A and B are shown apart, each in its own frame.
Chain A
Amino acid sequence: SQELEQSPQSLIVQEGKNLTINCTSSKTLYGLYWYKQKYGEGLIFLMMLQKGGEEKSHEKITAKLDEKKQQSSLHITASQPSHAGIYLCGAYKEGLNTGTASKLTFGTGTRLQVTL
């Protein structure tokens, strides 16, 4: 089955610092989804990456997909307290191009704390 490993498991950064979270797959990545979750709440969709080399940005968050390395990275520039939370990557087990993809499988998450 698709296994997604995230690193680091937790991260504490000072406000204003940059940080990177990685998501590595044991199988070919056909698409990669990044979500953010605050404690006790649901997941908020951030970005979807579907092509190798694709890079997307939303405000100060940038995500990239490296299909050859079966890896995606999420980079936050000039972190703020509002960035604190759990970041989760998710991927479809099957190939999207076959039309058989069913459910997203998620990594265990990276807990981010931003200190003042």
Chain B
Amino acid sequence: DTGVSQNPRHKITKRGQNVTFRCDPISEHNRLYWYRQTLGQGPEFLTYFQNEAQLEKSRLLSDRFSAERPKGSFSTLEIQRTEQGDSAMYLCASSLWGGRAGSPLHFGNGTRLTVT
């Protein structure tokens, strides 16, 4: 069990550029989540997948954000035409969801995005 892995750890980009982050979950986990966290706040839900199906997207997620999990394994989060307000820590988490049992989320170390 190598844990949840996120790449890159840091990304600095200019406003208007596109960025893509990658998340590799714990291998046997069927659920994968993306959260965003700004300074002094708790993580804010963006979207989640169960296997390859994207089951929910936050209303806060604009059309510039898109996430994929093509084979139910790793996931990518793309932000198009970045804005300074997109600067945040982007966290990925995975869990083994078995129905009624509330399994905990296991988080990666995040990707810190700075938009200049």
Contacts and interface: CB of A to CB of B under 8 A. Distances in A.
Nearest to A105: B45
Contact of B41 (A42, A96, A109): A109
B8 interface: no
A43 B43 contact: yes
A109 B56 contact: no
A46 to B, nearest CB: 9
Nearest to B58: A103
**10 smallest A-B Cβ distances: which pairs?**
A106-B42, A42-B107, A43-B107, A31-B102, A42-B109, A96-B102, A45-B104, A103-B45, A108-B42, A99-B100
Interface string B1-16: 0001010000000000
B48 to A, nearest CB: 6
Contacts of B85: none
B56 A107 contact: no
Given A43-B107, A96-B102, A99-B99, 11 more contacts: A35-B107, A41-B109, A42-B110, A43-B91, A43-B93, A43-B105, A90-B105, A92-B102, A102-B48, A105-B45, A107-B42
27 contacts: A4-B42, A30-B102, A31-B102, A33-B102, A33-B105, A35-B107, A40-B89, A43-B93, A43-B105, A50-B102, A90-B105, A92-B102, A96-B102, A98-B100, A99-B99, A101-B102, A102-B48, A103-B56, A104-B33, A104-B45, A104-B105, A105-B45, A106-B42, A106-B44, A107-B42, A108-B41, A109-B41
Q: What size tier do the contact residues of chain B reach?
A: 20 to 34
A26 B106 CA distance: 25
Contacts of B45: 103-105
Nearest to A93: B45
Contacts of B107: 35, 42-45
Interface in B26-73: 33, 40-45, 48, 55-56
A88 interface: yes
A106 B3 CA distance: 21
A97 to B, nearest CB: 6
Interface in B63-107: 89, 91, 93, 99-102, 104-107
Given A41-B109, A43-B91, A103-B48, A33 B104 contact: yes
